[in-house]
Chain A
């Protein structure tokens, strides 16, 4: 029998960042050496409207504890309207997840511009803290995907 070591909980966080604003904002956070936990892994998408609710569920299935979508501020979308569509889709999806009793804090949308490196880092610090408090994602997980 193996005795499981009690490990410090390190959340897995997937951040979808739009190429034009938020990904650039994340780069700026790096350029300015603004620290945020390594638990956050960024996936680059052309626009926040590229994020399919399926991707978010997939992340949870595969063991993510939190998913955050970052896009340009409303009105500043590189494609003019993408983040507006993303906003509606995510509002409805998050509301549905909440309705099903899945912790609503596990999903988040933030608007981060290319100039907001500090906001990007602060947002990620805050999100990681929230998810760490919430603990492991139990309600929307696929046990087969866990180690």
Chain B
């Protein structure tokens, strides 16, 4: 039996004016287990707190009930008070007789009656309270950033600048991501490489940052502060530490016919290659799918000419185990495949290109050295049609239901740059809406439309058909003048929707981080915790969380870094002790709780049990990781056997409150 003390607060006149506080403390003093009951003007004041502390010591109280303001206001205060007097802070319950009683009722009799019932409910609960101890776990002071695009780069730099070790895992041979493929960036039109490559160099030279390029995350175990990650370093058949990046091999390799993914397959590279001139790390990689030496055993030319002796055909994938305190996901995006959009003839005509391909065509390092030339015949196009929302805002199921956010702006950029460099080109942009929220964005779009004479037409393109003369017949509707248009175009550029990288879904499973139906990572809170995953210790940076442009990505990357720094700055983490707990004797091991846990806090172990008949049975039982559990209680209801319960809000505690209220 608990020895309970009840402390009724007047809150000046806030409570005492409507609730007869002495009647409340008198009534509650007769409740079972109550050994002391009193009332005082301000329980939260120092004198009030001393009253509580003295009573705890004098009467040997094992639990206390404070009838006062909302627990959201002073629960923490009174818990500290209890702790200071040697009572476990979780043996404190608050009856909210201010916000939920004295302030909403005018009649003293009713308010007093209700206050007594609320007090009884709190007493009933505290009878079943058990002392709880917050668990502590140490923090590994190293962060992992998955993805080496601008988001990952910025996050890594910010964390490293704060003095913490950071590893970047990038699946391609170089960091840089999509931004390295862009030509100019809106709305200032500075060249993407000029602002990105210095950052890439900063990463390479930073003493706190280690890059695992051409590597992928293979497995993740552990929890916030203590993740154990296995990284697969794929064989690149070149010794990274020896290769000088001279590039001689990439010129001499006889296998010349490999589609160059950096230029989206619009030109060729060799089987041994460095993706682009400013690659970081600047190290060659052998493409095992094309290398003749690896496929047939014949050739070996690169090995012969490499003066550094970096080529190693016998290299194998390497598995690296590393511990991290925090993980940042920055897996980025890809344009969607256009298989569902045959009406644009993307697969039929090389002159129908995606915006990212157009970006490469206009880039000085691209397949045409920056000359705007038609892919089919290398001639200068005179009429270009840009189509917006290809696969975005599409509820038909062919594309994506969301807005890809960046297309309006980059299309305005493409149109403007085309008109600036080639004023003899007619440029049409077909749009559903032009969406330009952002600093200097609308001004930018208006400049394209007004100063550069880009023809913006509200309407959708219905069909693009290659004609015999090599032109593209574009059939479209102009919704404002309500007429059908036929344009003979030399090129058509599709503002293709973007989607999360395919690696995101399996990664989310490994991290037990949740995703929405579009495979974007979900935030811990959409407004207030936008860079954290609901899974503690997992942070989100860049487009893996939703479409965004470079300035937004960089600010989010910085925000994610700040959250990581805040975590890594701690030596230990104190967990909320009001967490779920499974009674293994009752657990069926059915996985229901695991399915509803938003934090991936529940795992299963096969455990031996000695049965009453002296046999030993192996049963699958749930184990809650208390460092990860946030105490929502979803599992407690999902559990069919009632094995799962929540400390601090247990089934029996809540039912005791129900009973007290309904009595």
CA distance A12 to B517 in the complex (A): 42
Chain A residue contacts of B525, Cβ below 8 A: 76, 78, 80
Residues of A near B662 (CB, < 8 A) are 12, 14, 59, 62-64, 145
Please encode chain B, from 232 to 265, with 1 for each CB lying within 8 Å of some chain A CB and 0 for all others.
0000000000000000000000000000000000
Contact at A49–B100, with CB atoms within 8 Å? no
Q: Is A24 an interface residue (CB 8 A)?
A: yes
CA distance A63 to B114 in the complex (A): 16
**Which B residues touch A85, using CB under 8 A?**
596, 634, 637-638
A42–B631 alpha-carbon span in the complex (Å): 20
A50 contacts partner chain B, Cβ-Cβ < 8 Å: yes
Please tell me if the beta carbons of B598 and A36 are within 8 angstroms of each other in the complex: no
Asked if A47 is at the interface (CB within 8 A of a chain B CB), the reply is yes
The answer to whether A36 and B104 touch (CB under 8 A), given A44-B71, A47-B634, A59-B662, is: yes
Q: Which residues of A contact B110 (CB under 8 A)?
A: 38
Q: Once the chains are docked, how many angstroms separate the CA of A27 from the CA of B68? A: 12
- Is B72 interfacial (CB 8 A cutoff)? yes
What string of 1s and 0s marks CB contacts (under 8 Å) between A1-44 and chain B?
00000000000101000010001101111110111101001111
Q: Which listed residue, B98, B113, B121, touches A30 by the CB 8 Å rule? A: B98
What's the least CB distance linking A68 to chain B, in Å?
A: 13
Q: Chain A contacts of B100 at CB under 8 A?
A: 26-27, 30, 42
| Alpha-carbon distance between A62 and B660 when the two chains are bound, in angstroms | 9
Rounded to whole angstroms, the CA-CA distance of A21 and B662 in the bound complex is: 24
Q: Which residue of A lies closest to B71 (CB)?
A: A44
Q: Which of B191-199, B343-351, B649-657 forms part of the interface with chain A?
A: B649-657
Interface string of A58-93 (1 = CB under 8 A from B): 110011100000000001101111100100010000
- A140 part of interface (Cβ distance < 8 Å): no
B524 proximal to A (CB < 8 A)? yes
B429 within 8 A of A: no
Q: In the complex where A46-B631, A46-B632 touch, is A62 in contact with B658 (Cβ < 8 A)?
A: yes
| Distance (whole angstroms) from the CB of A117 to the closest CB of chain B | 9
Q: Quick check: B104 and A62 within 8 Å, CB to CB?
A: no
Interface contact A45-B661, CB-CB below 8 Å: no
The reply to whether A79 and B106 contact each other, CB–CB distance below 8 Å, is no
A52 CB–B CB distance under 8 Å: yes
Establish whether residues A80 and B596, one from each chain, have CB atoms under 8 Å apart when the complex forms.
no
Inter-subunit contact A50/B646 (CB<8 Å): yes
A50 touches B103 (CB 8 A): no
User: In whole angstroms, what is the CA distance A71 to B634 when docked?
Assistant: 13
Q: How far is the CA of A76 from the CA of B110 in the complex (A)?
A: 34
Query: Which residues of chain A are near B522, meaning CB under 8 Å?
Result: 80
Interface residues of B in 517-534 (CB under 8 A from A): 522, 524-526, 534
In this complex, how many residues of chain A approach chain B with their Cβ under 8 Å: the count is 46
Known contacts A43-B654, A89-B637; 14 additional CB pairs below 8 A are A41-B117, A45-B654, A47-B634, A49-B632, A49-B637, A50-B636, A50-B646, A52-B654, A55-B651, A62-B663, A75-B526, A79-B534, A82-B632, A121-B104
Taken together as a complex, chains A and B put the C-alpha atoms of A85 and B661 apart, in Å, by 26
CA distance A89 to B596 in the complex (A): 12
**Residue from the list A28, A33, A35, A46 in contact with B633, Cβ < 8 A:** A46
A49 contacts across to B, CB distance below 8 A: 596, 632-634, 637
Nearest-neighbour CB distance to chain B for A136, whole angstroms, equals 13
Q: Which residues of B contact A12 (CB under 8 A)?
A: 661-662
Nearest 8 A-B pairs (CB), nearest first?
A: A30-B99, A50-B633, A62-B662, A79-B632, A30-B103, A27-B99, A49-B634, A38-B114
* Cβ-defined contact, A46 with B578, below 8 A: yes
Verify B658–A14 contact, CB threshold 8 A: yes
> 13 A-B pairs, CB-CB below 8 angstroms?
A30-B100, A33-B104, A36-B104, A38-B105, A41-B114, A46-B632, A46-B649, A49-B637, A50-B633, A59-B658, A64-B661, A64-B662, A80-B524
Number of B residues near A (Cβ < 8 Å) is 48
CB distance from A102 to the nearest CB of B (A): 17
A51 CB–B CB distance under 8 Å? yes
Given known pairs A43-B657, A45-B654, A85-B596, the reply for A24 and B72 (CB within 8 Å) is yes
Instruction: Confirm or deny: B28 has a beta carbon within 8 angstroms of a beta carbon on chain A.
Output: no
Which of A19, A34, A43 has the largest count of B CB atoms less than 10 A from its CB? A43
Given the known interface contacts A41-B661, A81-B514, the answer about A54 and B651 at a Cβ–Cβ threshold of 8 Å is yes
Q: Chain B residues with Cβ under 8 A from A51's Cβ?
A: 637
> Is B101 interfacial (CB 8 A cutoff)?
yes
Q: Which of B73, B111, B121, B661 has the most CB of A within 10 A?
A: B661
Which residues of the other chain, B, contact A31 by a CB distance below 8 angstroms?
Answer: 99, 103
Encode contact with A along B610-640: 1 for CB under 8 Å, 0 otherwise. 0000000000000000000011111011100
In chain B, what residue has the closest Cβ to A51? B637
Q: Once the chains bind, are B104 and A29 in contact (CB under 8 Å)? A: yes
Q: State in angstroms the CA–CA spacing of A34 and B103 once bound together.
A: 8
For the complex, what is the distance from the CA of A109 to the CA of B661, rounded to whole Å? 19
A35 with B104, Cβ < 8 A, contacts A52-B651, A55-B654 known: yes
Nearest chain B CB to A16 CB, angstrom units:
8
Q: Is B70 interfacial (CB 8 A cutoff)?
A: yes
Given the complex, which residues of A lie within 8 Å of B99, measured CB to CB? 26-31
| Chain A CB within 8 A of B96 CB | yes
Kindly provide the distance from the CB of B489 to the nearest chain A CB, expressed in whole angstroms: 43
Residues of A within 8 Å of B596, CB to CB, are: 49, 81, 85
Within 8 Å CB of A28, what residues of B? 99
How distant is the Cα of A28 from the Cα of B99 in the complex, in angstroms? 7
Chain A residues with Cβ under 8 A from B106's Cβ? 35
B residues 83-115 touching A (CB-CB < 8 Å): 96, 98-101, 103-106, 110-111, 113-114
Contact with A along B563-585 (1 / 0, CB 8 A): 00000000000000010000000
Q: Is the CB of B118 closer than 8 A to any CB of chain A? A: yes
